[in-house]
Amino acid sequence: MTEEPQKNETGASVPEESAEPRRDFITGASAILVGALATLAPIGAAVVALIDPIRRVSSASDMVLVARRAAVPEDGSPRKFTVTADRKDAWATYSDTPVGAVYLRSVGDEIRALNVVCPHAGCFVGVAPDDSRFACPCHRSSFDLDGVVNDPASPSPRDMDALEVEVRNGDEVWVRFQNFLPGREEKTPV
Amino acid sequence: MRDLLGWLDHRTGYRGLLRSVLYERIPGGARWRYIWGSTLMFAMVVQLITGVVLWSAYSANAQGAWESVWFIQNQMAGGWLLRGIHHYMAQVTIVLLVLHMMQVLIDGAYRAPREVNFWFGLILLQLVLGLSLTGYLLPWDQKGFWATKVATSIASMTPVVGPSLQQLLVGGTEYGHLTLTRFFVLHAGVLPAAVVLLIVGHIYLFRRHGVTVPKSAKPKEDGYFWPEQVLKDSVASLIVMATVLGLVLWSGGAHLGAPADPAEPYAAARPEWYFLFLFQWLKYFPAGWEVVGAQVIPGLVLALVAAMPLIGQWKYGHRFNLGVGAALLGGIAMLTWQARVEDAADLDFILAKAEADALAERASDLAALPQGIPITGGLVMLRADPLTQGPRIFEANCSQCHRFDGHDGLGGQPDDAPSASDLAGFGSREWLAGLLDPDQVATETYFGATAHARGRMVRFVQRGVAGFTPEVRADLEKVIMAVSAEAALPGQASVDADHAAEIVEGRQLFSSEAIDCARCHTFRDISDGDVGPVLTGWGSREWVLGMLHDPSSEAYYGEDNDRMPLFGVDELLTDAEMGLVADWLRGDWAGQRTPEP
C-alpha cells in the first residue's frame, strides 16, 4: 500500500496539520450556540421531568377513621394502630391501604395521637416493654408517654409529632394523619 | 489469517493500542503491592456482569421489587449464586477500596504529580458508596426500606435544599414506586456510568504518571505489565473471587427480609456494616446537632482527605497525612466495634432481629406455596397470613384478658394476670378435656379468673364430672370427640376421620342422662338447653367469628357475657382481622402446619 493523501468521505482533502485553522471567534461562538440550541429541548425536558416530584405536595390528608374508642386502653398506655387510607402512588391507586401508624392513648376524656415516626431520623419508634415511655430502636431517642423528649441525650430535635384527633359519634377516633420532616426543630409537614 | 489481522490493524491500529496497553513499562518490575487497583477493576467488572443479569430479572416497582428478588433468589437457576456474588462482591469492594487507599497513602502515591488522580479516586470511593446505598433499597424488604429511610431523612436535613433534595431522591413525599425507579436508575444507570468514566480517567492518569515505586523497595530490573504484573493481578483477583464465593456459600446467599411495610415497625433497622460507624456516630449528636454529625463533620473530613496531596507538599505533610489516615481508620473501626457491641448487648435488638428473620422466612415460605405471590404483591400476601397476623391481632386485642399457651401471642407477658381462658388449642380435644377436668376448670387456663368461676359449668365439672363412674367417663371421652369434631380443626382432621364411629356415638351421648350436656347447651338437633353457648359447630371458623362478633348474643354467652368486647358489633376489629385471628387460633393457615399444642 502506498501512502496517499488522506481524504474524507466526500473526497475533499483534509487540510494538512501545518495549516492552522483560522481562529474565528464568531464561528466558534456560533458553533457553541447552535449546539446548545440543538440540545436545549431534550435537556430541558429531562430536567423538568426529573424535578417533577418537587412540585408534588403531600395530599395533606383528610381526617381518617383509625379506631374505635373502646379499642384504646383505658389505663392510659399507648397502643399502636395502623392508619389505612386511600393512596395514589405514581400510576397506581390503592384503596384502604396502610399508609402509616399512630399511637393512640387515652388521657382523661381525651384521646391523643402521636405519629410513630421518630422526628430524629425517621425510624419507627417503639414502646418500652413496661409501657412507661417511647424508645426509638435506632439512635436511642427517648420520649415520655406524651411524646415529649425526656432524656437530655436524646438526639431527637423535637417531641414526637402529635396529630389532630377528633372523636366522632361518641366512639369513632378520627386522626388527621400526616408525616413531618425529620431532623428539625419545627414541625414541617412533608 | 495473518493477512486478515494485518488488514484489521491497518484499518484500526489495534496492535499499537494493544502494545501500549500490555507492554507498559513498570519501573522496578512487577510487585504484589500494585495489585489493589487491579482487584478493584476486577470487582467492578464482576458487579457489572452480575448486575446486568440481575437487571434482566428485576422489576423496580413497589409490587415487583421484593417479588422479583424473591424469584431470583429462590426460583431462578443459579439466581441465589448470582445475587450472592453481587451482594458480597459489593462488600469486598469496600474492603479493597480501603486497602487501595492505604497503599496509595503509605507509598505517597497521592502526591504531585498525581493529585488529580487521587481526587478521581476519592470521587470513585463516593460513587461506590452511593452504589451500595442505592442497592440496599432495591430488594424493597423491611431492612432496606427502614435503613434507607434514615439515609433520605439525613438528606432532608441539608440546609435550605434538604426537603427538595429528599423529594427528588424519593420521587415524591412518600416512599413508593418512584423511589424504586429513581434508586434503580441511580444504581444501574447514572452511578455505573460515572464509575466507568472515572475509571477510564483514573487509569489514563495512572498510565501517564506510572506506578509509585516505594522508597523502601529493593531496586529491581524494570518489567512489563504483561505478563508479570497481570499474573500477580490475576492471582489476586482469584483470591478475591474465592473469598466472595466462600462468603456466599458460608452464608447461604444474600439475605432477603420480609416485604417493606410502612405500617410495621422494624426495630432491627441497621445499615450495612460499612456504614455502621456513621450510624453509631449519629447517636452521639444531641438534638439540634444532627446536621453537624451527619453532614458537616463527614464533609470536613472528606475535604481534609481531598487536601492531602496539597498538605503532602509540606515538610511533615506526608507524616501528617499518614496520621490522619490512621486516625480515621482507627476511629471508624472503633465506632463500628462500638455499634456491634451495643447491638450484641441489646436484648430488644436481638429479639427484633430474630422476629424479622422469622417473618422473612414465613414470607418466603408463603411465596413458595402453589398459590404463590398475588398480583397485589408480597406485602398483601403477608398481611393476609393468619400465622403472621393472628398473633399480632391477638396481642393487641385479646391478650389483656386471654393468653395463648401462657403468653400474649407474641411470646410476651402482659402486665395483668390473665382473666379469661388460655386459647391455645381452642377447639381441640385436649382443650375440651382440660375444661372438663375438675382439677383444671377453675384454673386460670379455663374459667378460674372469669365471672364463670362460680358458674354452672364449673359446678357441673367439679361436682358432676368428678363423680362420674369409669363407664360414664369413657362416654364423656366420646362426647369430647364429638364436640371437638365440630371445630373441624385442620390439625385434627385425620384423628377425627379415624374416630368417625366414636364421634357419631358421642353425639348421641351428648344428651344422655348421665352426662346431659344438653341440659344447658344446644347441640345439633338437640335444642333443649339455652343456658350456655350453642355447641353446634363449636370451635369452627363460623362459631369463633360469631363469638368475636357478638359474644353477648343468645347463641353465645347472652347476658352472662363476662367482659368480652363485641369486636364485630362495636367495629373494634374488621371482618378480615377477626378472620385472621380465628384462623390462627384454629391452626388454619397455608403452608407448613405445626402440630396442635
Task: Give the CATH number of the domain where residue A103 resides.
Answer: 2.102.10.10
Is it true that the peptide bond before B113 is cis, omega within 30 degrees of 0?
Answer: yes
ipTM rounded to 2 decimals: 0.83
Chain B residue numbers touching A99 (CB-CB < 8 A): 174, 262-263
Nearest-by-CA chain B residue for A69: B572
Contacts (Cβ under 8 Å, ≥6 apart) of A17: none
Contact of B434 with B486, CB cutoff 8 Å: no
Contact of B70 with B237, CB cutoff 8 Å: no
pLDDT single digits (tens) B420-453: 999 999 999 999 999 999 999 999 999 988 888 8
Q: Do A137 and B400 touch (CB under 8 A)?
A: no
How close A178 gets to chain B, by Cα (Å)?
A: 11
- What are the φ/ψ torsions at residue A162 (nearest 5 degrees)? -75, 145
Nearest-by-CA chain A residue for B164: A54
How close B330 gets to chain A, by Cα (Å)?
A: 22
Query: Is the model's pLDDT at B597 over the cut of 60?
Result: no
Contact of A164 with A176, CB cutoff 8 Å: yes
Q: Do B173 and A190 touch (CB under 8 A)?
A: yes
Chain A residue numbers touching B167 (CB-CB < 8 A): 53-54, 56
Give the single-character DSSP code of B468. -
Residue type, A181: L
* Secondary structure (3-state) at A13: strand
Q: Would you say the C-alpha torsion B557, B561, B562, B564 has a positive or negative sign?
A: positive
Chain B residue numbers touching A83 (CB-CB < 8 A): 263
- By Cβ distance, the residue of A50, A124, A156 closest to B146 is A124
Report chain B's mean pLDDT, rounded to a whole number.
92
List residues bridging with A127 in a β-sheet: A134
How close B62 gets to chain A, by Cα (Å)?
A: 9
Residue B245 pLDDT class (50, 70, 90 cuts): very high
Q: Which residues of B242-252 are buried (b: 16+ CB within 10 A; e: fewer)?
A: eebeebbeeee
How close B455 gets to chain A, by Cα (Å)?
A: 27
Rounded to 10 deg, the angle between the B230-251 and B79-106 helix axes is 130
What's the pLDDT at A21? Answer: 64
Q: Distance (Å, rounded) from C-alpha A74 to C-alpha B563?
A: 14
Contacts (Cβ under 8 Å, ≥6 apart) of B117: B202, B205, B206, B209
What's the pLDDT at B430? Answer: 96
How many folded domains does chain A comprise?
1
Strands (E) located in B177-310: 223-224
Chain B residue numbers touching A100 (CB-CB < 8 A): 262-263
What's the pLDDT at A38? Answer: 95
Classify residue A165: in a domain, yes or no. yes
Nearest-by-CA chain A residue for B349: A137
Chain A residue numbers touching B178 (CB-CB < 8 A): 53, 89-90
Chain B residue numbers touching A188 (CB-CB < 8 A): 163
What's the pLDDT at A17? Answer: 54
Query: Is the model's pLDDT at B527 over the cut of 80?
Result: no
Chain B contact present for A13, CB below 8 A: no
Q: Do B172 and A53 touch (CB under 8 A)?
A: yes
Classify residue A72: in a domain, yes or no. yes
How close B263 gets to chain A, by Cα (Å)?
A: 4
How close B269 gets to chain A, by Cα (Å)?
A: 7
What's the pLDDT at A185? Answer: 87
Chain B residue numbers touching A71 (CB-CB < 8 A): 397, 572
Q: Distance (Å, rounded) from C-alpha B367 to C-alpha B377?
A: 10
What's the pLDDT at A22? Answer: 66
Residue of B571, B575, B580 to mutate for A, most A C-beta atoms under 10 A: B571
Classify residue A125: in a domain, yes or no. yes
How close B44 gets to chain A, by Cα (Å)?
A: 28
What's the pLDDT at B572? Answer: 87
* Secondary structure (3-state) at B110: coil
Query: Is the model's pLDDT at B172 over the cut of 80?
Result: yes
Q: Do A137 and B269 touch (CB under 8 A)?
A: yes
Q: Do A90 and B263 touch (CB under 8 A)?
A: no
The structure's pTM equals 0.90
Contact of B81 with B248, CB cutoff 8 Å: yes
More confident residue, B230 or B414: B230
Residue B244's Cβ-side half-sphere holds a number of Cα atoms within 13 Å equal to 28
- By Cβ distance, the residue of B269, B283, B291 closest to A140 is B283
Rounded to 10 deg, the angle between the B575-585 and B386-397 helix axes is 110
Residue of A105, A115, A190 to mutate for B, most B C-beta atoms under 10 A: A190
Contact of B487 with B589, CB cutoff 8 Å: no
How close B199 gets to chain A, by Cα (Å)?
A: 26
Classify residue A131: in a domain, yes or no. yes
- Nearest CA to A106 out of A165, A48, A152, A59 is that of A165
How many other β-carbons are positioned within 10 Å of the β-carbon of residue A64? 18
Q: Do A53 and B150 touch (CB under 8 A)?
A: no
Chain B contact present for A71, CB below 8 A: yes
* Secondary structure (3-state) at B25: strand
**Inter-chain Cβ pairs, chain A and chain B, closer than 8 A:** 146
C-alpha cell at A126: 417503639
C-alpha cell at B532: 350456655
Query: Is the model's pLDDT at B550 over the cut of 60?
Result: yes
Residue of A66, A89, A168, A175 to mutate for B, most B C-beta atoms under 10 A: A89
Q: Do A53 and B171 touch (CB under 8 A)?
A: yes
Nearest-by-CA chain B residue for A138: B269
pLDDT single digits (tens) B259-302: 999 888 888 888 989 999 999 998 888 877 888 888 899 999 99
Q: Where in the sequence is the domain holding A159, given as residue range(s)?
A: 63-176
Q: Distance (Å, rounded) from C-alpha B329 to C-alpha B321?
A: 12
* Secondary structure (3-state) at A98: strand
Query: Is the model's pLDDT at B96 over the cut of 90?
Result: yes
First to last CA, chain A: 72
List residues bridging with B361 in a β-sheet: none
- By Cβ distance, the residue of B176, B396, B565 closest to A70 is B565
Chain B contact present for A78, CB below 8 A: no
What's the pLDDT at B529? Answer: 65
- By Cβ distance, the residue of A57, A68, A120 closest to B290 is A120
What's the pLDDT at A24? Answer: 86
Domains along the sequence of chain B with CATH: 32-269+346-352 (1.20.810.10), 276-333 (no CATH), 386-585 (no CATH)
Mean pLDDT of B505-511: 92
pLDDT along chain A (190 residues), means of 10: 46 53 83 95 94 76 87 88 89 90 92 94 88 88 92 88 93 92 86
For B304-349, the three-class secondary structure string (H helix, E strand, C coil) is HHHCHHHHCCCCCHHHHHHHHHHHHHHHHHHHHHHHHHHHHCCHHH
- By Cβ distance, the residue of A116, A153, A182 closest to B286 is A153
Classify residue A139: in a domain, yes or no. yes
Residue of B146, B152, B153 to mutate for A, most A C-beta atoms under 10 A: B153
DSSP B44-66: HHHHHHHHHHHHTT---STTTHH
Q: Distance (Å, rounded) from C-alpha B64 to C-alpha B181?
A: 11
C-alpha cell at B183: 434508586
pLDDT single digits (tens) A17-69: 555 666 788 999 999 999 999 999 999 999 999 999 888 766 567 899 998 88
More confident residue, B193 or B215: B193
Classify residue A140: in a domain, yes or no. yes
Q: Do B62 and A92 touch (CB under 8 A)?
A: yes
Query: Is the model's pLDDT at B592 over the cut of 90?
Result: no
Q: Where are the alpha helices (DSSP H) in B408-499?
A: 429-435, 456-459, 470-487, 493-498
Q: Do A1 and B163 touch (CB under 8 A)?
A: no
Q: Distance (Å, rounded) from C-alpha B347 to C-alpha B267?
A: 11
Classify residue A52: in a domain, yes or no. no
* Secondary structure (3-state) at B591: coil
How close B167 gets to chain A, by Cα (Å)?
A: 6
Is it true that the peptide bond before B227 is cis, omega within 30 degrees of 0?
Answer: yes
Query: Is the model's pLDDT at B396 over the cut of 50?
Result: yes
Long-range contacts of B589-593 (CB under 8 A, 24+ apart): B589/B385, B589/B386, B589/B387, B589/B390, B590/B366, B590/B369, B590/B371, B590/B385, B591/B362, B591/B365, B591/B366, B591/B369, B591/B387, B592/B365, B593/B490, B593/B491
Which residues numbered 100-139 in A keep a CB inside 8 Å of some CB on B? 100-101, 116, 120-126, 129-131, 137-139
Chain B residue numbers touching A60 (CB-CB < 8 A): none
Residue type, B506: G
Contact of A103 with A116, CB cutoff 8 Å: yes
Q: Distance (Å, rounded) from C-alpha B508 to C-alpha B503?
A: 9
Mean pLDDT of B245-270: 92
Strand (E) or helix (H) holding A96: strand A92-107
Strand (E) or helix (H) holding B38: helix B35-55
How close A21 gets to chain B, by Cα (Å)?
A: 27
Query: Is the model's pLDDT at B391 over the cut of 90?
Result: yes
Q: Distance (Å, rounded) from C-alpha B76 to C-alpha A175?
A: 45
Classify residue A151: in a domain, yes or no. yes
